[in-house]
Amino acid sequence: MARFVDVHPENPQQRLIDQIVAALRDDELIAYPTDSGYALGCQLGNREGRDRMLRIRGLDDKHHFTLMCKDFAQLGQFAQVANSAFRAIKAATPGPYTFILPATQEVPRRLMHPKKRTVGVRIPDHVFDQALLEALGEPLLSSTLILPGQTEAQTVGWDVKEELDHVVDLVVEAGETPAEPTTVVDWSEGYPEVVRVGAGDPARFEAA
């Protein structure tokens, strides 16, 4: 049965953040709110956590995982940002965008796209996420919590707990969570291609 942690949406309690970080470091899988719906998350080195995410979502190994990063500096450690992309991506973060970029050597191979050697990266504009990433000290391996047969991410903590009580270890609640997913921009070929339109304005990249 998953533990339920109710965090203050504007002033996250440090003791609760520390509990969640401890769970992640103990290779637990969490469901947590972001600025674009709920996501599943685990530590980068948690192999079983990665596989559990794929099973929960009904996906195969070609799925693009996302590294949830605290800031642009951390993003740059795990993804190669070409000069042509630097200014546009930096201006759009933090915010509701996911960027698909060539992975650096810091990214374990099992987390990359098997053929393209790319990885998804994003910087959330969310108080809880920023507090968690600050305490964790590394990106959080994530995947949007869209269940098989559904088209939108989960948005309510108690609903997530009820649905996934026996397949995740911990569910975080932190206030209202928007339903609209991120806008996904594939920049792996050196130019921006909007592959999913979501909460972020795609026009800034369609004209880039």
Mapping DSSP onto H, E and C, the string for the chain reads: CCEEEECCCCCCCHHHHHHHHHHHHCCCCEEEEEECEEEEEECCCCHHHHHHHHHHHCCCCCCCCEEECCCHHHHHHHECCCHHHHHHHHHCCCCCEEEEEEECCCCCHHHCCCCCCEEEEECCCCHHHHHHHHHHCCCEEEEECCCCCCCCCCCCHHHHHHHHCCCCCEEEECCCCCCCCCEEEECCCCCCEEEECCCCCCHHHHCC
69-105 per-position pLDDT tens digit: 999 999 999 999 998 899 999 999 999 999 999 999 9
**CATH 3.90.870.10 given to domain 3-206:** yes
pLDDT at 53: 96
Cα atoms in the 13 Å half-sphere on the side-chain side of 127: 13
6-42 per-position pLDDT tens digit: 999 999 999 999 999 999 999 999 999 999 999 999 9
Give yes or no for residue 207 having a pLDDT over 70: no
Indicate yes or no: pTM above 0.85: yes
Give yes or no for residue 61 having a pLDDT over 80: no
102-156 per-position pLDDT tens digit: 999 999 988 988 888 999 999 999 999 999 999 999 999 999 999 998 888 889 9
Q: In which order are the strands placed within the sheet that holds 30-34?
A: 3-6, 170-173, 30-34, 37-42, 140-144, 66-68, 118-122, 97-102, 183-186, 193-196
